[in-house]
C-alpha cells in the first residue's frame, strides 16, 4: 500500500533534510530585522520629521507592490534558488544604507531596497522548499517544515529584540549592522542550497524562454480559469488583512484604549509572538474532521470574533485575546499557504502567479489601513472592530456558499497533520479538480510575513 493509503509518512532523504535545514536558516536570518523595534526612534534621532518617516513607509508599501510582478517574472526566468541569493544580497546592502548615510535619502534607499529584497524572495522561498521536497518525494513534510520555519523566525525575534536597547548603548548603529550580518548569513544558506532538478528547458526550476508579458498573461489566465485557485486566494485575504491590521495598525491603539501603558507593550508583543510561534509550529494539532479550507474559514472567524470580543473585556482580557488572536494566526498561515500550493498548476509561471496573490493581499490591506486611520482618528475603535468581524463573516459565508452550491469544486483535501492520506491535511488536488489545477508546485509567502515595514 502507498504511504497515503496506510497513513505512514515517507522518511526524509538526506537531500530533503538539507533543504529543510537550510530553509530554516535562510528564513530565520533573512527576516531577522534587529532594527524593527527602534527604527522610528532611530530616524527621529537622525533628524527626520514624522511626515518624512511615515512618508517613507507609504513609499515602501507602494514599492513593494510594484516590485512584486517583475521580481516574480524574474524568479520564473532565473530559478528560485538564484532569486533567493539575489534577495539576500540586496537585503544585506539595504541594511547597511542607514549606517553609511543616516539621512532622509539613506533611509529612503534603505526601505526601497528592503522592498526589492523581500519581493525577490516572497514567492521564491516557499516555492523552492515545496519543489525541493516534491523532488525527493517528501512533499508530505512540507506543512510541518513551513510552519516550523515560521515559528523559529518568530522565536528568534522574541530572543533578539530585547537586546537591541543595550546594544545601541554600546554602538548606536548596532541594530542595522546586526541586520546586515543576519542577511549575509541568509546568503550563505542560499548559496549552500542544493540545485533542484529542472524541468526540460528550464534552468534550476526557472523558465529560459518566453517574454515577461507572456508569463504575466499566463498567470492571470490561470487565476481566471481556476475557480478553486481564485477562491483560496480570496480566502487568504481575510487571514492576511485581519492579522496585519491588528498586529501592526491596531495593536497599540487597542492596548492604550484599555489602559495598558506603553511600558507594557513590548511584553505583550513578545507574548503574542510566542503564541503565534507555537501555532505556526504545530498545525498538525488541528482536528482531522475538518478540511483545510474549512479550517482556514474557522480560524478566520476566530480572528474576527476575537477582535469583536476586545470591545467587551478589560486590560487583562484584552491581552489574553491578543495572544489568542496571534495563536489563531499562527495556525492559519501554514494551512492557507499549503492550500495555495496545491492549487497552482504545474505548467503555470508560479512566482509570477504567487506575486499576484501577494499584491492582492497588500492592496486590500492598504485600503483597510486607510479606513482604520479614519476610524481611530474619529474615536470609533469599537465600531471598527465589530464591523471588521461582520465583514469577515460575510466574506467567509459567501465562500462556503460557493463551495456548497457546487459553483466552485474543491480539490481533494486529504489531512492537516502532515499525513497526506488523513482527512484534513492540504494535499494534492484530487481527480475532480486535477484537470483544472494540475499538480502544485509553489507557495507564496517566502516564510515569515513579518510585522511592520519589514513584512
CA distance 71 to 83: 8
Looking up cell 507602494, which residue turns up? 62
Question: In this structure, what C-alpha cell is assigned to residue 145?
Answer: 517544515
Per-residue pLDDT of the chain (455 residues; tens, 9 = 90+): 444 444 456 788 888 889 899 999 999 999 998 887 777 778 888 888 867 876 787 788 778 878 876 766 676 677 888 889 999 999 999 999 999 998 999 999 999 999 899 888 877 787 788 888 888 888 788 878 887 887 888 888 888 877 877 888 888 899 899 999 999 999 999 999 988 765 444 444 454 444 556 666 776 777 777 788 888 888 888 888 888 778 766 776 788 788 877 566 667 777 888 888 888 777 777 877 888 888 888 999 999 899 889 988 788 899 999 999 999 998 888 888 778 877 777 676 666 677 777 778 777 776 777 777 678 778 888 888 898 889 888 988 888 888 888 777 665 444 444 443 333 444 333 333 333 333 222 333 333 333 445 45
Q: Are 175 and 32 in contact (CB under 8 A)?
A: no
CA distance 91 to 85: 10
CB burial of 96-125 (b: ≥16 within 10 Å; e: otherwise) equals bbbbeebebebbbbbbbbbbbbbbbbbbbb
pLDDT for 348 = 66
Q: Which distant-in-sequence residues (6+ apart) come within 8 Å of 332 by Cβ? A: 239, 243, 279, 295, 296, 299, 300, 303
pLDDT for 437 = 31
pLDDT for 363 = 74
pLDDT for 219 = 67
Which pTM value belongs to this model? Answer: 0.63
Where does the chain hold its CATH 1.20.1250.20 domain(s)?
Answer: 12-196, 210-446
Q: What is the pLDDT of residues 201-218, one digit of tens each?
A: 444 445 444 455 666 677
CA distance 208 to 198: 11
Q: Which of 268, 263, 188 is nearest to 451 (CA)?
A: 268
CA distance 324 to 386: 17
Q: What is the pLDDT of residues 324-363, one digit of tens each?
A: 999 999 888 888 877 887 777 767 666 667 777 777 877 7
Q: Which distant-in-sequence residues (6+ apart) come within 8 Å of 303 by Cβ? A: 238, 239, 242, 243, 246, 325, 328, 329, 332, 392
CA distance to 210, 299, 420, per residue, from 433 (Å): 28, 25, 17
Helix (H) or strand (E) holding 123: none
Q: Which distant-in-sequence residues (6+ apart) come within 8 Å of 113 by Cβ? A: 90, 91, 93, 94, 97
pLDDT for 244 = 77
Q: Which distant-in-sequence residues (6+ apart) come within 8 Å of 27 by Cβ? A: 125, 149, 150, 152, 153, 446, 447, 448
State the CATH class of domain 12-196: mainly alpha
pLDDT for 98 = 93
Longest dimension (CA), the chain: 68
CA quadruple 395, 281, 130, 142: dihedral positive or negative? negative
Q: Which distant-in-sequence residues (6+ apart) come within 8 Å of 364 by Cβ? A: 237, 240, 241
Q: What is the CATH number of domain 210-446?
A: 1.20.1250.20
DSSP output for 259-318:
T--GGGHHHHHHHHHHHHHHHHH-GGGS-TTS-HHHHHHHHHHHHHHHHHHTTTS-HHHH
pLDDT for 352 = 66
CA distance 124 to 116: 13
Amino acid at each position: 500500500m502507498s504511504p497515503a493509503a496506510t497513513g505512514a509518512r515517507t522518511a526524509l532523504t538526506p537531500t530533503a533534510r538539507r533543504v529543510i535545514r537550510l530553509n530554516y536558516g535562510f528564513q530565520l536570518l533573512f527576516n531577522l530585522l534587529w532594527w524593527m523595534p527602534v527604527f522610528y526612534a532611530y530616524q527621529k534621532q537622525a533628524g527626520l520629521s514624522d511626515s518624512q518617516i511615515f512618508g517613507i513607509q507609504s513609499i515602501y508599501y507602494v514599492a513593494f507592490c510594484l516590485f512584486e510582478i517583475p521580481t516574480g517574472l524574474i524568479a520564473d526566468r532565473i530559478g528560485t534558488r538564484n532569486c533567493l541569493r539575489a534577495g539576500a544580497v540586496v537585503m544585506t546592502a539595504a541594511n547597511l544604507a542607514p549606517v553609511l548615510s543616516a539621512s532622509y535619502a539613506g533611509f529612503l534607499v534603505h526601505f526601497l531596497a528592503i522592498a526589492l529584497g523581500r519581493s525577490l524572495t516572497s514567492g521564491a522561498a516557499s516555492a523552492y522548499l515545496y519543489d525541493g521536497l516534491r523532488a525527493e518525494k517528501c512533499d508530505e513534510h512540507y506543512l510541518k517544515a513551513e510552519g516550523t520555519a515560521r515559528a523559529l523566525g518568530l522565536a528568534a525575534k522574541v530572543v533578539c529584540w530585547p537586546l537591541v536597547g543595550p546594544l545601541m548603548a554600546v554602538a548606536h548603529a548596532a541594530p542595522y549592522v546586526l541586520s546586515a550580518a543576519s542577511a549575509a548569513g541568509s546568503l550563505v544558506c542560499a548559496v549552500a542550497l542544493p540545485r533542484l532538478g529542472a524541468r526540460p528547458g528550464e534552468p534550476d526550476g526557472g523558465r529560459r524562454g518566453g517574454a515577461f508579458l507572456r508569463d504575466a498573461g499566463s498567470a492571470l489566465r490561470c487565476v481566471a480559469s481556476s475557480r478553486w485557485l481564485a477562491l483560496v486566494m480570496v480566502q487568504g485575504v481575510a487571514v492576511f488583512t485581519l492579522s496585519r491590521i491588528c498586529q501592526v495598525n491596531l495593536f497599540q491603539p487597542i492596548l492604550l484604549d484599555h489602559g495598558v501603558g506603553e511600558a507594557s507593550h513590548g511584553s505583550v508583543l513578545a507574548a503574542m509572538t510566542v503564541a503565534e510561534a507555537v501555532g505556526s509550529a504545530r498545525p498538525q494539532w488541528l482536528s482531522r474532521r475538518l478540511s483545510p479550507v474549512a479550517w482556514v474559514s474557522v480560524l478566520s472567524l476566530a480572528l474576527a470574533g476575537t477582535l469583536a470580543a476586545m470591545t467587551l473585556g478589560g486590560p487583562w482580557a484584552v491581552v489574553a485575546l491578543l495572544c489568542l488572536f496571534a495563536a489563531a494566526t499562527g495556525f492559519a498561515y501554514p494551512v492557507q499557504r499549503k492550500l495555495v500550493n496545491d492549487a497552482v498548476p504545474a505548467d503555470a509561471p508560479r512566482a509570477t502567479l504567487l506575486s499576484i496573490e501577494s499584491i492582492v493581499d497588500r492592496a486590500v490591506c492598504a485600503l483597510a489601513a486607510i479606513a482604520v486611520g479614519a476610524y481611530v482618528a474619529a474615536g470609533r475603535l469599537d465600531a471598527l472592530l465589530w464591523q471588521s468581524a461582520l465583514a469577515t463573516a460575510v466574506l467567509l459565508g459567501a465562500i462556503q456558499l460557493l463551495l456548497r452550491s457546487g459553483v466552485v469544486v474543491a480539490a481533494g483535501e486529504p489531512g492537516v497533520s502532515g499525513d497526506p492520506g488523513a482527512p484534513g491535511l492540504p494535499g494534492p488536488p484530487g481527480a475532480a479538480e486535477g484537470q483544472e489545477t494540475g499538480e502544485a508546485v509553489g507557495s507564496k509567502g517566502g516564510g515569515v510575513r513579518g510585522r511592520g515595514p519589514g513584512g
